[in-house]
Amino acid sequence: MKFRLIILLFLLLSVRSFSQCCSQGTPMGGANNQSILNPGNVRVFAFGTHSRSIKQDVDSKYLIDGANFNFVGTNINIGITKRITFEGTIGYFINKSQFYKTSFVEPFSTVEMRGFGLSDAIIGLKGLLYKTDGGFELTAGLGAKIPSRYHYQVLEDGVQLSVDNQTSTIGFGVVPKLLVFKRFSKQNLSLFFINLYDINFKNFEQYRYGSGINSSLFIGKTFPKFSCKTDFIVELRSSFRLKDINFPANKERFVMATTGSFIGTISTQIGQTFMDKYRLAVAVDLPVYQKFNTSKLKNQFGVTASLVFDINAKKKKVYTNEEVKAHKTEVIFVNGGCEMCKERIENIALNEKGVSFANWNSESLMLTVKFDNNITSIGDIINSIVKSGHDSENQKTSNKTYNSLPKCCQYERILNE
């Protein structure tokens, strides 16, 4: 791609007149919205985002006509202890583009200034501070931001990309955060709040991107009459960013007065869960309030598709047909109410070491299991199932565990008098 010298001149004269059109680093705060994991377990959050920005005033003589970016990334959580989880995030900008007018009279023409490459990586820990049986959790985390490059990206024709087109902040930073979660089982409702601080240090090009505060409130709801596996989430998000600071050589620092912003966004999301551990979701972001320190591009919309899945660290032995035939077979009563119960009961049984086969009949409420009785017992299998919220004939789960099940899974209990 060839760029004209006039574009470079305009960039030098208006280096920050279009600040904040695209967020630096990973543009998906939701990538960090993961709970604490059990030791050795892994949760992967993969996502792709498309975001578009337009001019605040379509009739203005503003140099930049619009912008967009396409981004793919992943967030990985690894359970270290029962209260501490490692978290890492990295992504890649397929493009981080701004479109510049080369003429304000017909025939109009535009040139794309396109950045691409790895985003900053964020690695850190988060710990569970407080948890109750009523579904309340308080978690705090601290991450270190690591730049993917140490100098501004320069294109093949020698043009240096603007600071807004860079895919990395070119410097280190820290990302502390606080997470609050509350579940209301009877209403099939959950509330999730995250407050994330994006603190940037002076980078290797003697520039500091403005630090920011991102606060999000997620309201999640399932409708059992429709589907226990489909959830709807509304996110209310506010993003505040301070002004950038330039540190030119042999001069005092210079605050970039045209930078800084406050953006209010509403996001709607629909998700579908498969096999009790895979969740596919699509979210649409629409800004409802935007305030900048000067005329800039404004966010128009964003679309994100994501997939979350868990990996159990325990390796499951694969049994041959001959071994399965030799295993002991038991048929036991397990209470439940729907196909989601079937997946949960069978998965829990199969995760028990030594179990080679599990099938639960939703009509008869009978679970057929085959297992190596040298490794496990029917008692151990029943204990694991009861702890998940399902009564057996002689063992009952606690009322708190039963009430934590999705509404459509809350079967009619047969309690001993």
Residue 106: predicted pLDDT: 62
The residues, ordered by sequence, that sit 6+ positions from 138 with a Cβ below 8 Å of its Cβ are 128, 129, 130, 131, 178, 179, 180, 181
- What DSSP state is assigned to residue 407? G
What pTM did the predictor assign? 0.75
Q: Are 233 and 218 in contact (CB under 8 A)?
A: yes
- What is the structure's pLDDT at 108? 65
pLDDT at 105: 55
Beta bridge partners of 44: 76, 309
SS3 call for 41 = coil
Nearest to 88, CA basis, from 135, 140, 145, 14: 145
Number of Cβ within a 10 Å radius of residue 273: 20
pLDDT of residue 107: 62
pLDDT at 36: 83
In this prediction, residue 26 carries a pLDDT of 37
Q: What is the pLDDT of residue 213?
A: 94
Query: 244 by DSSP, 3-state: which?
Result: strand
pLDDT tens for the 417 residues of the chain, in order: 333 333 333 333 333 333 333 343 333 333 334 578 878 888 999 999 999 988 766 555 557 778 899 999 999 999 999 899 999 999 999 999 988 876 655 666 778 889 999 999 999 999 999 988 677 889 999 999 999 999 999 887 778 888 888 999 999 999 999 999 888 877 778 888 999 999 999 999 999 999 999 999 999 888 776 777 788 999 999 999 999 999 887 677 888 877 888 999 999 999 888 776 788 999 999 999 998 887 667 888 999 999 988 887 655 677 778 888 789 999 999 998 887 888 889 889 988 888 988 999 988 999 999 998 888 999 999 999 999 899 998 899 988 888 878 777 888 887 654
Summarised one tens digit per residue, pLDDT across range 223-266 is 776 777 788 999 999 999 999 999 887 677 888 877 888 999 99
Which residues, in sequence order, are CB contacts of 45 under 8 Å at separation 6+?
31, 34, 74, 75, 76, 77, 306, 307, 308
- What is the structure's pLDDT at 304? 92
Are 143 and 173 contacting, i.e. CB atoms less than 8 angstroms apart? no
Burial of 332-360, coded b for 16+ CB within 10 Å and e otherwise, reads bebbbbbebbbbbbbebbeebebbbebeb
Q: Tell me the C-alpha distance between 325 and 176, whole Å.
A: 54
Q: State CA 93 to chain mean position distance.
A: 16
